[in-house]
Structure 1
């Protein structure tokens, strides 16, 4: 199915680059904040607008305005402030792309081999909480917590036992197959945590 795509960009170098890569792409060198561009380039006849600038506020405003002038579907990129995500969703914006959430998804895919079942990001991505499901082939299975050298690079903050009990463990707790460990660590300790729970 044929689709018409328009790129609106101020930077002439970026415009030239995309025009050379995609000959069928309509490249418009202009400022998206100039509302006349929607009429001049007939942008309101398009089904979808994706705002991908480095400015979160501009992306939200552009996507919201696009909906108001009749574009069916609008997406906004949020790069710097996750507090804007909820706001954007209240402004009739159909979808929000969060860089931090995308990073967490990438982390989760990267760490699948380490038996991680979930990753949660805190403090704008500086801190991660990993949930590891213990299997028989993992080196930590059968060990007491006090015998696992985390080198102050992370903490085991909680455990859901194989029987389904949630506990805050002591160092004497022995890790069993089927346990789920809640491990807290800084983003920079990803590699270390992966090795411990491989």
Structure 2
């Protein structure tokens, strides 16, 4: 697939890096010579220096042959303009990064597709949504919803109190036959290897296990994992960035008690006007005395989303030491992201990875509705829409020659989530969620052509 990326900043470079691993034909455009030089030295891609809104530059990139044009510069105006031009010059599909969440909320009314923009993404909005979902799924480290919660992916570390420790998947299924969840990926404690579980795979203490759940499965999972489900009501947010403001606004709408700490005085006053239902505090959130004065020990969750990864990590560790049960830190450094469990923070989130996950579904074959990479694990979750041509409809699941390193985690039929067993047969119109290791994705895609 020929893909052109406009913008060699953090999101653009990360996308180019991930897509180049997929053997895609990538062209990266940016006006910044230094950013392009770094990308050219480290990635097997073509780079072009110039203004992404220049028609001449777009033609030099052979925009008329591009199957996907992605504009992810820091300027949403530039991104929108570039996408409109790219579409008019022959690009098949365009995606624009924006920061104004109103554009996404009102995209159907405005009709962005009419003037050439097929999809809008906001890394900040994706991060805020991820934080809210994690707070609603209190006992879990990662979560991802399909079709407004018809199916939900949840991950956790198995403690010694988990009911299914030392049982195989098959044994656990026999003991708890009516449960609404299934394991779809396991990472053994102390390793970087991802296992797609089969019937004889055994659960071990310390495993990071990713489950697919239908409605009610999260409560069952909490009970059997030995964890205690606690309600999150009091939340402290450090950082009044776009993510911090959007998170605080969403949480206030959902009746959370929110305290937001912002170091910049002018920004803090603006936030206080915009967030009448939150308590906005002007101060340095790295100051332990300030955190104690604001009763950090009474918080159910602490979220740090300043522009500095190290500040976010350290403040979350301070919150953890003061008894806060749930901590979430925004990080830009992917090396930190790989170390979330050993660092001691419940969840690290990364805007670049969230944006990449959102865009990745456009390069997959078959009708991919949603897609996400599992946090710190070498596997992908893909949601396919089943058409009349899809080969997966022709046999029961157990009779399909499905790759061993992939698993059908769930099916959505008539807006209802189903955890399918071997005798289940997929039908046209279903949406099927598959977890797969990278080496099997091309084989999985063939079932949905």
With the shorter chain as reference, the TM-score category is 0.5 to 0.7
Q: Give the alignment's TM-score, normalised by structure 1.
A: 0.56
Shift of 1:54: 1.1
Q: 1:119 to 1:50 in 2, by over 3 A?
A: closer
Number of residue pairs matched? 140
Is 1:65 equivalent to 2:65 in the alignment? no
Partner of 2:167: none
Decide which of 275, 278, 282 is 1:25's aligned counterpart.
278
**Which deviates more, 89-98 or 68-77?**
89-98
Partner of 1:83: 335
Q: Is the 8 A contact 1:37 1:43 kept in 2?
A: no
Cα distance in structure 1, aligned partners of 2:265 and 2:361? 36
Cα distance in structure 2, aligned partners of 1:11 and 1:96? 24
Q: 1:70 to 1:115 in 2, by over 3 A?
A: same
Cα distance in structure 1, aligned partners of 2:335 and 2:329? 14
4+ runs of 1 displaced by more than 2 Å?
Answer: 86-89, 108-120, 179-182
Q: Give the alignment's TM-score, normalised by structure 2.
A: 0.27
Q: Map 1:1-198 onto structure 2 (within 5 A).
A: 2-79=255-332, 81-109=333-361, 115=367, 181=442
Which structure has more relative contact order (CA 8 Å, sep 6+)? It is 1
Q: 1:50 to 1:180 in 2, by over 3 A?
A: closer
Per-residue deviation, residues 99-152 of structure 1 (Å, max 9, x unmatched): 2220122213555797458687xxxxxxxxxx9x9x999xxxxxxxxxxxxxxx
Q: 1:34 to 1:105 in 2, by over 3 A?
A: same
Structure 1 alignment gaps of length 5 or more:
121-130, 138-162, 166-178, 183-198
Q: Is the 8 A contact 1:45 1:71 kept in 2?
A: yes
Shift of 1:35: 0.7
- Secondary structure at the counterpart of residue 54 of structure 1: coil
Structure 2 alignment gaps of length 5 or more:
1-232, 234-254, 374-381, 390-400, 404-439, 444-449
Shift of 1:70: 0.9
Q: 1:91 to 1:180 in 2, by over 3 A?
A: closer
Q: 1:34 to 1:70 in 2, by over 3 A?
A: same
Cα distance in structure 1, aligned partners of 2:341 and 2:267? 29
Partner of 1:124: none
Cα distance in structure 2, aligned partners of 1:180 and 1:94? 29
Shift of 1:68: 0.7
Cα distance in structure 2, aligned partners of 1:113 and 1:136? 15
Root-mean-square deviation (Å): 3.8
